Amino acid sequence: MRLGIVRGHVVLSPVIPELKGVRLVVVEPLSREDLQVANGKASGKALVAVDRLGAAVGQMVGVTEGREAANPFWPERAPVDAYCALIVKHLALPSSQTPGPRSEAQQ
C-alpha cells in the first residue's frame, strides 16, 4: 500500500460494464521525503484508482495496487489495478533523530 493525494476525478465515456457507477480518482503517490516536508506536494507518477470511500480532492489516501486492488469486486472480475483502501485522517512520522530498530549485532 502506498499513500497519495487525490488530485482529481476521471470520467469514462465508453462505460466498462464492471466499472459502471464506480468513482475513479487521480492519485499522486507520496514519497517519504514528501511526507516529511508536509507541503501537500507529491513527487510520484499519478495513477487512476477506484474510490468507493468518497475521498475529496486534496485528501490523503492509502492505495492498494496490483491483484489485491480487484479483491473488493470479488467474486466478480473487474479490470482494476489500484483501489483507495483508506482515507488518512492523521499521520504521525517519527522524528529523524529517533534511533531506528537495532540490528542483531547491536543486541
pTM for the structure as a whole:
0.77
Query: Does the pLDDT value for residue 39 go beyond 60?
Result: yes
Q: What pLDDT sits at residue 105?
A: 53
Find the domain containing 48 and state its range: 2-87
Q: What is the CATH classification number for the domain harbouring 20?
A: 2.40.50.220
Dump pLDDT digits (tens) for 77-90.
778 889 999 999 98
Q: 105 in a domain, yes or no?
A: no
Tally of domains within the chain: 1
Q: 10 in a domain, yes or no?
A: yes
* CA proximity to 60, closest of 11, 96, 7, 13: 7
Q: 96 in a domain, yes or no?
A: no
Give every CB contact of residue 72 below 8 A, 6+ residues apart in sequence: 50, 52, 83
Q: 102 in a domain, yes or no?
A: no
Is the peptide bond preceding residue 75 cis, with omega within 30 degrees of 0? yes
Q: 95 in a domain, yes or no?
A: no
Q: 23 in a domain, yes or no?
A: yes
Q: 50 in a domain, yes or no?
A: yes
Residue 101 banded pLDDT, cuts 50, 70, 90: low
